[in-house]
Chain A
């Protein structure tokens, strides 16, 4: 069942990309839509088959591959990976659907066959990484992602795409190396029989070794998320990438980083994780504040959205380190809602850029004009901004509220700073909306082509989903509730220690005392 999620897009990518003969752009598009549509339907079917009350792995598949290396084809899905798989397949479908609208006035997508096959390859890699239950298998898929993303940025990107693509490649390659090093060390030091997830038992390792391994992984995944100060590749990559690539980067790839944190850092080193949590809480708060403040200072709306993404991934980190069931379920929800909202924002910014021809806040004006502006796009942009700022009624509010509610007891000050960060989100979105949507159109330049219904459809679908999950939050949290609860309770060590620590009163003291053990 799960293999289909990997191999259907992989075979699809090969077919679209390498099928001999002269396939027209529209036919390649139809083929890619059919494949990703099937994938999406298959995902929905899996959602119906998923047992909500089981915290552990479901639908497992196991096939020995290279036993001498400890590499096995081992797949499984739980409440942590399922929502992300669904998110990834949804965004893949929307990206393929919208990347070449084929409306009379839009510029056609160049090299469509390569584009579709790369996007499908990303979908395959993403599903593989999320479903893999073997560390090496995870690493393989994790690295597979790099190549299509590099090509997507460097072929379809804008002016400085080469610079951005190389920077992205270097950073994420370092991330891969660190993670591979940590995985290998884990296997050798624990003398595990294979790289299978359940074969690794780190409890025997010394605290110091655990800390080193954990640090390697935190930095590795931290680059991918990215966390401040490892984020400098992000603004360039997101801004230079074309809209579909930016959606996949922000909506899908970044989630691999946070997924890795929860799955491998928290899952494999629960005790040590709780030791580094206070330090990470500061990183989370800094990321949130930095992202928000940097976004306020931007003049380019896409860059603004890119920085907002840095801030919003900080909430996910905060949720994963608080180690309360509520915060953890909030973190998973935040991954999903951030993916949806960011995709919507990038999509709308992409439409504005293609129609108006600029992303400059000083040039954009009056897009809410009912006839000559882009009224529907502006209206959806306002909704997306509200969603991102955590206005109740939309998915962003649910997940941020869960994170804050769950983490306040553990890290009051960083949580409060993050709350301030959501207020700052409102600040920069008000700046963005005020400049782009309100005001008046310039009668000399404002002859923008219309936005067709087909172009609006993906944005409408995403908005509908964001609002639906905002008013029916059960549909957002039900998938992961039992898994995250189980994960949080596995780290009960932390809770008892923290209770003992309370009289001392200073959280930072937990760190040296933990190492001394």
Chain B
């Protein structure tokens, strides 16, 4: 209905990706609506959500408990308290119940943390040293990307400028002094270099920021997976709409940073600052991780002097929507770590699907990370649609000027994928796997 209405009112777009623009205008996503795509993205949401259930717990644990520990050897060994911590969006006591499942750590996660890939119950340290564990390094890489690409979406995003305010510095200073109480060496260091621990504190605040962001996303993805399994989610636009609705439902969730030192809570960023999930966490996250990140070593090395790395951070384009996923499997690059995590929690239908394509078991790591890339195009579409909903007009608006404004918005968003590295063209076909 609104599809035909929209199309009759505006002439076809002249954009290079006109098809995709039209699809967005019709309420679709950048990812074509096929059962194969739906299966891939939902399967990947599930595989992503389980490690994410650990990511957000550990990120909060590091931001709140480990804090400035100069030797954080055990920062990935979170306490039972954090494993049992109730997600605010799942379980019976949820603020807003998104997932119908439980509020504490996911059972598959618990089982994996106990036995790992080896399927053997060994001491945690043994699993850790054997790299048979959840790769928190990936989560930290995302956090660092948000920290490094500072000033995104300012002034809408007020979290980032706040980190430079006197109020933040005063709060942080209090916490730093409390944390190093009785440690004259560190206190002297803090006195001599006041920026040193302050910057660590900002990083810690971003740990909390990302942890709070993902606390929401994990139940969203679990619920989508369950809906798909129950046959209640049958198309890519439906999946995207679920995300859009989710984004609006939780947009106001407070973003804060509390630190617990010897049982006492220090509010470095109090909830009262009014920072919200959408503007202070979700949008900067998407910008930092999906679009920008930073060049990583795969089999391609970048030559900054030859202009292969942009001069301005805002022009960076190494994120998941652009990344070459074929080097996944190479040691030490963030997508490998993520793919490794997701490999452990793939639903059976995806395992069977991958077995039938390319090299089957042998290159499942790459097949799944490309499905992941598809699924992130769907998430980005949801963000674009949500922004359109928040800032512009409904898709079935009768006023042609409003529709033009919508189109201009969509085109400006898709312009970011005109770069040759963008994978938007690849994901339009099923052959990219």
Most central of B298, B324, B363 by chain A CB within 10 Å: B363
Q: Is A478 an interface residue (CB 8 A)?
A: no
A446 touches B362 (CB 8 A): no
A371 touches B366 (CB 8 A): yes
Q: Which of A87-95, A362-370, A385-393, A397-405 contacts B (4 or more CB under 8 A)?
A: A362-370
Q: Mark contacts of B416-433 with chain A using CB atoms, 8 A cut-off: 1 yes-contact digit, 0 otherwise.
A: 000000000010000011
A440 touches B359 (CB 8 A): no
The CA of A443 and the CA of B370, in the complex, are separated in Å by 11
Q: Which of B102-110, B211-219, B238-246, B325-333 contacts A (4 or more CB under 8 A)?
A: B325-333
A353 to chain B minimum Cβ distance, whole angstroms, is 19
B356 to chain A minimum Cβ distance, whole angstroms, is 13
Number of interface residues of B (CB under 8 A): 19
Known: A439-B299, A443-B324. A370 touches B329 (CB 8 A): yes
B300 touches A440 (CB 8 A): yes
A371 touches B328 (CB 8 A): yes
Nearest chain A residue, comparing its CB with the CB of B423: A443
The CA of A369 and the CA of B324, in the complex, are separated in Å by 12
Q: Is A447 an interface residue (CB 8 A)?
A: yes
The CA of A73 and the CA of B432, in the complex, are separated in Å by 65
Q: Is A67 an interface residue (CB 8 A)?
A: no
Nearest chain A residue, comparing its CB with the CB of B429: A444
B359 touches A449 (CB 8 A): yes
Query: Of the candidates A370, A443, A447, which one forms a contact with B358 in the assembled complex, judged by CB atoms under 8 Å apart?
Result: A447
The CA of A210 and the CA of B276, in the complex, are separated in Å by 100
The CA of A138 and the CA of B333, in the complex, are separated in Å by 61
Q: Which of A73-103 contact B (CB under 8 A)?
A: none
Known: A440-B327, A443-B432. A369 touches B299 (CB 8 A): yes
Q: Is A441 an interface residue (CB 8 A)?
A: yes
The CA of A370 and the CA of B362, in the complex, are separated in Å by 10
Most central of A371, A372, A447, A450 by chain B CB within 10 Å: A371
Known: A369-B326, A446-B326. A440 touches B299 (CB 8 A): yes
B426 touches A443 (CB 8 A): yes
A366 touches B358 (CB 8 A): no
Known: A443-B324, A443-B432. A371 touches B299 (CB 8 A): no
Known: A369-B299, A371-B365. A440 touches B326 (CB 8 A): yes
B426 touches A369 (CB 8 A): no
Q: Is A438 an interface residue (CB 8 A)?
A: yes
B329 touches A440 (CB 8 A): no
A372 CB contacts on chain B under 8 angstroms? 326, 329, 358-359, 363, 366
B433 CB contacts on chain A under 8 angstroms? 447
B359 CB contacts on chain A under 8 angstroms? 371-372, 449-450
B422 to chain A minimum Cβ distance, whole angstroms, is 12
Query: Of the candidates B300, B363, B432, which one forms a contact with A371 in the assembled complex, judged by CB atoms under 8 Å apart?
Result: B363
A405 to chain B minimum Cβ distance, whole angstroms, is 40
Q: Mark contacts of A425-452 with chain B using CB atoms, 8 A cut-off: 1 yes-contact digit, 0 otherwise.
A: 0000000000000111101101101100
Across the A-B interface, the 5 shortest Cβ-Cβ residue pairs = A371-B329, A370-B329, A450-B359, A441-B326, A371-B363
Q: Could you list some 18 contacts between A and B, CB below 8 A?
A: A369-B299, A369-B330, A371-B326, A371-B362, A371-B365, A371-B366, A372-B358, A372-B363, A440-B299, A440-B324, A440-B327, A441-B299, A441-B326, A443-B324, A443-B432, A447-B358, A449-B359, A450-B363
Residues of A within 8 A of B (CB): 366, 368-372, 438-441, 443-444, 446-447, 449-450
